[in-house]
Amino acid sequence: MSNSTSSMSLVFSKSMEDVQSDTTTKILALIQLSYGIPSLVLMIVFLVLLTVSKKYSNSFYRLVQFDLLVNILIYTNSWFAVRIDKHPVVIPFLKWLTEVFPSFLTWVVYLAYMFLHLQFVSAVVLSVHRITSVYLHMNNDKYWNLIFIFFCLGSILYSCICNSLIPGHIVEVSILNGTLTKTTYVGVYTVAVSVTAYFSAAYFFLLVSVGISTSWIVTRKIESMSLTNGGIGKKLNKIAVTYGSIYTGILLWSIISALNANFNFLPDLIVKFNSYSLPFSSDMMTLALPYILMVYDTNVKQDVFRKKSVSASNSRIISSSFVITRQ
């Protein structure tokens, strides 16, 4: 009991202005920016496109908009939470930001954990929409449009409740004696990593289960309607596998980090590599959606690549949207 109390009360403070320039960190940052900025622009473009174009009036695209917005916020937040403070050239800006908004850098770290829950909810609901489209048919849009606002607010509330399991701020950034200082609460960090690992494991298996169930349910429905010879089923399975693969990275990182935080079994070299790999594994989830849409979504593909629409029958399968609509 005393060890637990001691761990919870353990606090480290260090100057953020002492960070040294590191070639590896610079190279990794350049790599992250090289794919991150184009992907961020792509997400913003898709968000606007889905908002202004009448082609995307289906309720599924409202959920995609929500997911895109969540991922835009997550990606932007991640730079302030875990990335730019490693670069000396940015420290004066962070110091000015802390002077103007004293709690900003403290909250972005805390929100990074909250966004985990919001991201998984916004991802799994896309598959749920596919299932309801099978059973609700023409009323699917009506019901989803009615509950959309409540879904968004409920998702945010759920994420806040889950994040409240973390007993306080993990770090606090402030200016002490004129120096930009980061204070880390080791016990809170240990709890945060453990809670994140449990939720990540649950979300991963939930996504895999829902993905497989969706593929099976939707494929059976399509085949019973004689709309395809099974090719669409393979495509739906690819979508499920794609999503499962994407979330595997962050799941493994969360579990390994939680175990290491409690048992400290990883060598320092691996721990250092783990800190470098975190942004990349996070980006796998955060930036993937626009590319998945371009691969699987007929409407998006037509807009992006300017292909002419081809209608083969009066029933259209929007495979990449994870939706089956009856026209």
Helix/strand number for the chain, H first, E second: 11, 5
For 250, phi then psi, to 5°, come to: -70, -30
pLDDT of residue 61: 87
pLDDT of residue 325: 38
pLDDT of residue 308: 46
Distance CA 73, CA 30 (A): 20
pLDDT of residue 224: 60
pLDDT of residue 24: 81
Q: How far are the Cα atoms of 12, 149, 167, 234, 271 from residue 189, in angstroms, in the given order?
A: 12, 33, 9, 42, 15
pLDDT of residue 265: 72
Residue 26 and residue 293 in contact, taking contact as beta carbons nearer than 8 Å: no
For residue 15, give the 3-state DSSP assignment.
strand
How many other C-beta atoms are found inside a 10 Å radius of the C-beta of residue 185?
A: 20
pLDDT of residue 96: 95
pLDDT of residue 66: 94
Per-residue pLDDT of the chain (327 residues; tens, 9 = 90+): 444 444 556 888 899 998 887 788 888 889 999 999 999 999 999 999 998 888 888 888 899 899 999 999 999 999 998 888 888 999 999 999 999 999 999 999 999 999 989 988 988 888 788 778 777 777 888 899 899 999 999 999 999 999 999 998 999 999 998 999 999 998 898 888 888 878 887 887 887 787 777 777 766 766 665 444 444 444 544 555 565 567 666 666 666 766 776 677 767 766 666 666 777 877 888 898 888 888 877 778 788 776 544 443 433 434 444 443 333
Half-sphere exposure at residue 126, Cβ-oriented, CA atoms within 13 angstroms: 25
pLDDT of residue 174: 93
Containing H/E element for 260? helix 231-263
Q: How far are the Cα atoms of 97, 169, 293 from residue 173, in angstroms, in the given order?
A: 11, 10, 38
For 72, phi then psi, to 5°, come to: -65, -45
- Domain boundaries defined on the chain: 11-299
Of the candidates 274, 282, 212, 299, the one whose C-alpha atom is nearest the C-alpha of residue 247 is 282
pLDDT of residue 217: 75
pLDDT of residue 75: 94
User: What crossing angle do the helices spanning 186-224 and 2-9 adopt, rounded to 10°?
Assistant: 90
CATH class of this structure's domain 11-299: mainly alpha
Distance CA 295, CA 297 (A): 6
Distance CA 226, CA 119 (A): 35
Torsion of CA 63, 68, 72, 78, to 10 degrees: 80
| pTM flag (> 0.75) | yes
pLDDT of residue 262: 65
Q: What is the full DSSP assignment across 110-122?
A: HHHHHHHHHHHHH
Half-sphere exposure at residue 7, Cβ-oriented, CA atoms within 13 angstroms: 12
Distance CA 280, CA 268 (A): 19
